[in-house]
Amino acid sequence: MKKYSKDLFKILEKKELTIAIAESMTGGFIAASLVLNPGASKILKLSTVVYTEEAKYHVLGVSQDLMLRYTLLSGEVAEAMINGLKKLIKADIYLSITGNAGPTFLKNTDKLGAFIAVSSQDKNLISFKKLNKNCRQKNIDIVVKETFKILKSFVLNF
């Protein structure tokens, strides 16, 4: 992951862009990878781990009705997390990740996967990464790697 993190960091630094992050299923791995780079405070404005429904509601203001209606494994919740971040702090890029790394399933869903949402002032992207592995750590690693790829592409086109 270090290479993916370093590549993204260099691009953000060169373009003088800042990022705010809300992670759920990745548990802070994205932000932790970014802060390994010297000068991380220039680009990382905010990072929060909102692992539970309660945290998503209290920290980001994600509606409990929305989470019940769509489940935590949804683009709607990922988008609501972004909107919550935007109310907390001003940044150039916003990232949210929500999903289920397994091996058990969330209530009202029978799939494993992650929704990755990236947003700027005028551009939004929501991507779904389906997961098939029974290994929780592998699934988290897959989502972290995919997130760095998506972010890199998004930022290069910023």
Which pLDDT belongs to residue 70? 94
Q: Which residues of the chain have pLDDT under 70?
A: 108
Which pLDDT belongs to residue 111? 84
Which pLDDT belongs to residue 102? 86
Q: Please state the domain count of the chain.
A: 1
Which pLDDT belongs to residue 47? 99
Contacts of 122 (CB under 8 A, 6+ apart): none
H-assigned helices in the chain = 2-14, 29-34, 53-60, 64-70, 75-88, 136-156
- Assign residue 56 the CATH number of its domain: 3.90.950.20
**Residue 118 DSSP symbol:** E
Residues 127-149: tens digit of each pLDDT: 999 998 779 999 999 999 999 99
Question: What are the backbone angles phi and psi of residue 47, rounded to the nearest 5°?
Answer: -140, 135
Domain of residue 12, residue span? 2-156
